[in-house]
Structures are given as C-alpha cells and as structure tokens.
C-alpha cells in the first residue's frame, strides 16, 4: 500500500508541475501577444493621424524639419478669390469636410498667381462673410458659391489682404502644424508623439510610447530616404515615417518592452 501511495503521489506531482508550467507558458504567451498588439496599435494610430495631414502638403508646405520633428502647412479649405474690401480678401469656399473645417484655426492662406506659384500670407485670419458678395453684380466674372446638404454656401474674409490677389484666383486656408517625437507626459521617461498647432500653441500628445529610434527621414527626387533634411526643404518629395512603437511594460518573463516597427513613405507635392 505504501509503495502504491508513493507512486500515486509522484505521478500527481509530475502532473501538477506539468500543469503549472503549461499555465505559466500560456500566461506568458498571452502577455507577449498583448504587448505586441499594444505596440502595433500605437504605431498604426500614429500613422493614421499623420498620413492624412502629410498627404495634404502642397507647394513650399514643409516649413521646418529635423529627424525628430517636422512642421508643415496643412490645407483644410479651398476656394476662389472674389473681391477685396476693407483690407480683406473675400474667398468663395468649395464644400469641405465640415468637422475638419470648424475644428481648424487658420494659420494663413495662400493664393495662386498667374505663373502657378502659390503666394503665402501668414499670419492671417479668416472670418465668415456674406456669401452673396461673391456673386454678380459684386464680382466680375460672376462666381457661384457652392453648397450641399452638409455644407451651406460659405464665404470668408481673409486678412490681411494681398492687393495682388486677382478675382478668380485659387485660394486655400491652412494650418501650420508640428509633429514631434518628444518626452511623454503620459508615461514619464518614455517618448510620445506630439501634435502642435503653432497658431494657437495647442499641444496634444497623440500616442505613446515610442522607441528612441522613432523619427523622420527625408525623401529626395529619387525617393531615397536620408537621415537629415537637406538645406533646401523644397527639394524634399516626401517623408519616411519610422514609427517604432513599444508596449508600455515588458511582458511577463521579459525585461524589455516589445517593439513594433512600422516604416512607411508618404509622398507629397512640395516645391518652390
């Protein structure tokens, strides 16, 4: 009997150890997958936010750049100039995304001259005006201010006006925005992605944490990525986003947070 009891206890111990190891292994596997998903989610969230803005960058739209931060002019509404009055230029706007439009604060505006070059007026303001002023007999040629179910016909007065702006020239309103990888406020000691609207100084931490290798590279005319920006920023044809996100904590059984490297190119129109 004693021998049988000892054998049974030994078998139970072996099974118990095996089950414990299985539970620990499964627990670590789940923690590892959770950490990878967390890092991947952070990288994708950053890409979704930045790509939309960077793809809108137009002529001379890259204002400043370092490997850790870039400052760009991001258009949010387009239209045509109608007339000039009281130190303002009236602009008939085309229908735009209403949520984006009403959330934006103008940093400046740009108008296109007869050579096709955009001329920037910054800083500038944009205020609602009477849309009937952008129609005959106030404008020559007559300009029709468009609207749709989600966008009422809208005219804005931008200022200060540039007296060279002719009626009928293309105009767009833009925000000057800086994206930067900098010390995180949410997770002290880590790195976060910050978005700053330079007109108002509003600064938001979008996603954290990132690895120290996260940053920007700069594409030349052959779309080759360079670690440092060129002296002439209008020669930059796009950005390579190195979104090396990490998990907040190391998963169980590891000493370092998990990384997820999402590297992609965003090409934009940017020349003088």
pLDDT at 8: 62
Query: Are 112 and 169 within 8 A, CB to CB?
Result: yes
pLDDT at 19: 60
What is the distance between the alpha carbons of residues 20 and 133, in angstroms, rounded to a whole number?
A: 79
| 24: pLDDT strictly greater than 60 | no
Structural domain boundaries in the chain: 35-70+176-267, 71-175
Residue 25 makes CB contacts below 8 A (sequence gap 6+) with: none
CA 235 from chain center: how many Å? 21
Query: Are 54 and 72 within 8 A, CB to CB?
Result: yes
pLDDT at 140: 67
| 63: pLDDT strictly greater than 90 | yes
Give the position of tokens 């303001």. 125
149-158 average pLDDT score: 90
Radius of gyration of the chain (CA): 28
132-146 average pLDDT score: 74
pLDDT at 116: 87
How many other C-beta atoms can be found within 10 angstroms of the C-beta atom of residue 67? 16
For residue 155, give Cα distances in angstroms to 84, 127, 129. Answer: 13, 9, 5
| 52: pLDDT strictly greater than 80 | yes
Contacts by 196-200, CB closer than 8 A, 24 or more apart: 197/105, 197/107, 198/71, 198/107, 199/105, 199/106, 199/107, 199/123, 199/175, 200/105
Band of residue 270 on the pLDDT scale cut at 50, 70, 90 = confident
207-222 average pLDDT score: 95
How many other C-beta atoms can be found within 10 angstroms of the C-beta atom of residue 5? 9
pLDDT at 217: 97
């Amino acid at each position: 009997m004693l021998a049988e009891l000892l054998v049974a206890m030994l078998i139970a111990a072996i099974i118990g150890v095996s089950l414990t190891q299985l539970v620990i292994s499964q627990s670590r596997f789940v923690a590892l997958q959770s950490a990878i998903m967390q890092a991947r989610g952070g990288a994708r969230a950053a890409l979704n936010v930045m790509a939309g803005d960077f793809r809108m960058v137009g002529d001379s739209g890259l204002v400043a750049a370092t490997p850790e931060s870039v400052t760009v002019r991001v258009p949010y509404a387009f239209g045509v100039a109608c007339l000039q009055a009281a130190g303002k230029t009236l602009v008939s706007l085309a229908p735009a995304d209403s949520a984006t439009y009403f959330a934006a604060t103008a940093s400046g505006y740009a108008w296109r001259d007869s050579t096709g070059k955009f001329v920037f007026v910054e800083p500038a303001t944009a205020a609602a005006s009477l849309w009937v002023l952008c129609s005959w007999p106030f404008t020559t040629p007559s300009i029709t201010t468009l609207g749709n179910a989600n966008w009422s016909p809208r005219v804005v007065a931008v200022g200060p006006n540039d007296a060279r702006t002719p009626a009928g020239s293309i105009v767009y309103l833009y925000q000057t925005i800086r994206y930067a990888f900098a010390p995180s406020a949410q997770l002290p000691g880590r790195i976060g992605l910050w978005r700053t609207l330079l007109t108002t100084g509003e600064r938001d931490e979008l996603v954290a944490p990132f690895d120290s290798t996260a940053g920007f590279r700069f594409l030349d005319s052959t779309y080759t990525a360079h670690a440092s920006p060129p002296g002439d920023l209008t020669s930059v044809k796009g950005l390579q986003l190195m979104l090396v996100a990490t998990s907040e904590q190391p998963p169980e059984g590891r000493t370092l947070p998990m990384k997820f490297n999402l590297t992609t190119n965003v090409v934009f129109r940017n020349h003088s």
